[in-house]
Amino acid sequence: MGTFQIDFSNSRKQRVVGIDLGTTNSLVAYMDVTAPKVIPGEDGEPLVPSVVSLTEAGEIIVGNPALQALITHPDRTIYSVKRLMGRGIDDVTEELKLFPFRVAGSGESVLKLSLGEKTFSPPEISAFILRQLKRNAEAALGEEVRQAVITVPAYFNDAQRQATKDAGRIAGLEVQRLVNEPTAAALAYGLDKRKDGVVAVYDFGGGTFDISILRLHEGIFEVLATGGDTHLGGDDIDNLLLKIALEDIESEWKQDLSGNGEAVQTLRRAVINAKHELSRLPAVTLVFDYAGKQYRRELTRPVFEKLILPIIERTLAPCRHCMNDAGLEPEKIDEVVLVGGSTRIPLVRASVERLFRAKPHTELNPDQVVALGAAVQAAILSGDVQDKLLLDVTPLSLGIEIMGGLVSRILHRNSTIPASATEVFTTAVEGQTNVLIHVLQGERELVKDCRSLARFDLKGIDPAPAGLARIEVRFLIDANGILNVSARDLRAGKEQSVEVKPSYGLTDDQVEAMILESIDKAQDDFQERQLREARVEADAILAAVEKARQNDAYFDLEESDRDLITRGLNELLVVYHGEDHLLVRAKIDQLNQATMKLAENMMNTAVNQALKGTKI
Ligand code: ADP
Ligand code: MG
């Protein structure tokens, strides 16, 4: 059988690499013809420790050499900088207690860290790591690399994401997209090829533990729930073993080394090596040479497992919590993906398998899987036609009209796409059989100040008392920025949908203007929204009370109770058209109080029902 080569390369296209910018380790990967591959550095190792050091000669070093410098020049070396990304001085007091960050000051919003005699912001430090990865990629691929997809934890907020993008820019990389780490892991395993399903991603790294539950729907991942512990990881195992070794040494040598920074760091390296070996071997010997003396200790896997069990158990509670948040039982999880170097530990694998009652994916290297997924995402992006509109994030919020001429936002501005979100609404009018879904774009609170994108009717809803119908509205934006809005009556199962292109026709300047305007008008909008919401609530209770007044139960009330209700009604009507939302709310409360007995008597939840849920 003959073989022939096909040249898949396309010189017109820019290569986009995928980068996992980790707390402990970072790495870069690219798409090689058919499969993603990690790119090793000069030392042949793809993992670059996320450590940055400034030499006395004023040169920045990154990765393993910097890890060495952590022993010799701790005051010129920084690790775990990801913990500080996009955070202000007030948010990081906890981190500062646990990590030897040297804060040099905090300007407007970013804090500065000192590294020897210089100071840098966290994005600048991260940029040094990114530059190293960029250099590694350029050396391996033999071409300039200017574009990247970078991964971030699913729970990263806007500021943390922005800081990551800044780091990319400082490093000379155009960040094509930020991808959630669990999503990248699922992509690396090709789970997007499943049509639907639920994926749990268990990520146990060096200093952090993250659990995420994703729902896959037609190739798009939606984060259903996330959880974890930002101070739990392989480091805790290292610290435990280190403590035991130091105690051992003290009793053997009659010498306390715990205050000797250099000795401790060397012993820590030895302990970490032993831990890694134990994932592979049933027993290892920890060896530590110091000042002409040698410490040796045999460590078997059963002993090791007994020691670390409490640490592993600390990962399981967040997993249960996360399943609970997502409203899922373990049986509902279709796939489990292991991420992070610490999931190499056999006991971790066994514990995860027992918890989720499913064999986790371990085929890929757990400390590479996020970068591999980022490379898959990068390839998807660069494979797209160049002139196609590719939105990174939704530039403006999207939502629907609700009672009172107000907008209920469903997908927020800056959501990374593809994105989807679902919300359940209810009806406002008794016996309502259709609802108008009015899709809007913009940051303002009132419908009249937003841009109308589409309208459609959901017809054939089962007539029900107001507040009883359950209408699920789902917004889904695909990678090309196409918005699909669907509405479904959860009781009758009727569904309607519409497709719109939200950014169509808007220039960047217009988007900018809309955002600025919303900031400008925020105060007015807030007042107006409060008032309108209060009026919607008033409408509901007024209608409900009017109706109840025709019920026999009303006439069974004592006259004084009936008077109370009539007075409540009248007083609410008086303030209804005023401008003071607090007054409207107060009168609603008063009327509510007055009708308590009536509601009880009617044994009919209609009044209460009418007050529940956001009404379309
Ligand atoms: P992060 O996502 O936090 O940057 P990684 O996923 O690279 O971190 O995981 C780093 C952690 O994994 C370290 O604590 C390291 O000691 C641990 N680790 C790596 N390989 C193994 C192994 N073979 N056995 C046990 N732990 C390991
Ligand atoms: Mg990681």
Positive or negative torsion for Cα 180, 182, 187, 188:
positive
> Tokens 């805790």, residue?
236
* Ligand 2 centroid distance, CA of 269 (Å): 20
* Ligand 1 atom index nearest CA of 233: 14
Q: Measured between alpha carbons, how far is 37 from 188 in angstroms, rounded to an integer? A: 10
pLDDT band at 441 (very low <50, low <70, confident <90, very high): confident
**For the CA of 273, the nearest ligand:** 1
Q: Whose CA is nearest to atom 16 of ligand 1?
A: 234
Ligand 1 neighbours by CB, cut-off 6 Å: 22-25, 205-208, 233-235, 272, 275-276, 279, 340-342, 344-345, 367
Q: What is the number of residues in the chain?
A: 616
Q: Whose CA is nearest to atom 22 of ligand 1?
A: 276
What pLDDT, on a 0 to 100 scale, did the predictor assign at position 415?
Answer: 73
* Ligand 1 centroid distance, CA of 98 (Å): 19
| Residue 600 CB contacts under 8 Å (≥ 6 apart), including other chains | none
3-state helix, strand, coil in the chain (%, to 5): 40, 25, 30
Written out in words, the top-level CATH class of the domain with range 394-518 is mainly beta
Average pLDDT over residues 515-522: 74
What pLDDT, on a 0 to 100 scale, did the predictor assign at position 395?
Answer: 65
Q: What are phi and psi of 567, to 5 degrees?
A: -65, -40
- Taking Cα atoms as reference points, which of 42, 40, 39, 41 lies closest to residue 30? 39
**Catalytic residue IDs:** 20, 82, 181, 203
CATH of domain 234-307: 3.90.640.10
Q: Which fold has domain 16-233+308-392?
A: Nucleotidyltransferase; domain 5 (3.30.420)
* Ligand 1 atom index nearest CA of 278: 24
CATH 1.25.40.320 fits 522-611, yes or no: no
pLDDT band at 493 (very low <50, low <70, confident <90, very high): confident
* Ligand 1 atom index nearest CA of 208: 3
* Ligand 2 centroid distance, CA of 611 (Å): 46
What pLDDT, on a 0 to 100 scale, did the predictor assign at position 276?
Answer: 97
* Ligand 1 atom index nearest CA of 279: 24
Q: Whose CA is nearest to atom 13 of ligand 1?
A: 206
What pLDDT, on a 0 to 100 scale, did the predictor assign at position 384?
Answer: 41
> Tokens 């008597």, residue?
601
Pocket-testing residue among 367, 369, 370, ligand 1, by greatest number of atoms within 8 A of Cβ: 367
What pLDDT, on a 0 to 100 scale, did the predictor assign at position 329?
Answer: 92
* Ligand 2 centroid distance, CA of 84 (Å): 16
What pLDDT, on a 0 to 100 scale, did the predictor assign at position 65?
Answer: 95
Q: Whose CA is nearest to atom 24 of ligand 1?
A: 276
Q: Whose CA is nearest to atom 26 of ligand 1?
A: 342
pLDDT band at 109 (very low <50, low <70, confident <90, very high): low
pTM of the model: 0.66
Parallel, antiparallel, or unpaired: how do β-strands 174-180 and 16-21 relate?
A: unpaired
Residue 612 has pLDDT above 70, yes or no: no
**CA 538-539-545 angle, 5° bins:** 85
304-334 residue pLDDT tens = 999 999 999 999 999 999 998 888 999 999 9
Q: Measured between alpha carbons, how far is 401 from 209 in angstroms, rounded to an integer? A: 40
Q: Measured between alpha carbons, how far is 576 from 542 in angstroms, rounded to an integer? A: 11
What pLDDT, on a 0 to 100 scale, did the predictor assign at position 426?
Answer: 84
Average pLDDT over residues 526-544: 86
Average pLDDT over residues 449-469: 83
535 with 495: CB under 8 angstroms?
A: no
Residue 251 has pLDDT above 80, yes or no: yes
* Ligand 1 centroid distance, CA of 48 (Å): 12
Residue 429 has pLDDT above 50, yes or no: yes
Q: What is the mean pLDDT of the chain?
A: 86
Pocket-testing residue among 19, 20, 24, ligand 1, by greatest number of atoms within 8 A of Cβ: 24
Helix H or strand E segment including 125? helix 122-141
Q: Where are the beta strands (DSSP E) in 318-395?
A: 335-339
116 with 39: CB under 8 angstroms?
A: no
% pLDDT > 90, the chain? 48
Residue 367 has pLDDT above 90, yes or no: yes
CATH topology match: 234-307 vs 522-611: no
Residue 353 has pLDDT above 80, yes or no: yes
* Ligand 1 centroid distance, CA of 366 (Å): 9
**For the CA of 367, the nearest ligand:** 1
Pocket-testing residue among 20, 21, 25, ligand 1, by greatest number of atoms within 8 A of Cβ: 25
What pLDDT, on a 0 to 100 scale, did the predictor assign at position 32?
Answer: 86
Domain limits, the chain: 16-233+308-392, 234-307, 394-518, 522-611
Distances in whole angstroms, Cα of residue 531 to Cα of each of 55, 155, 545, 546, 588:
61, 34, 21, 22, 13
**For the CA of 230, the nearest ligand:** 1
What pLDDT, on a 0 to 100 scale, did the predictor assign at position 40?
Answer: 96
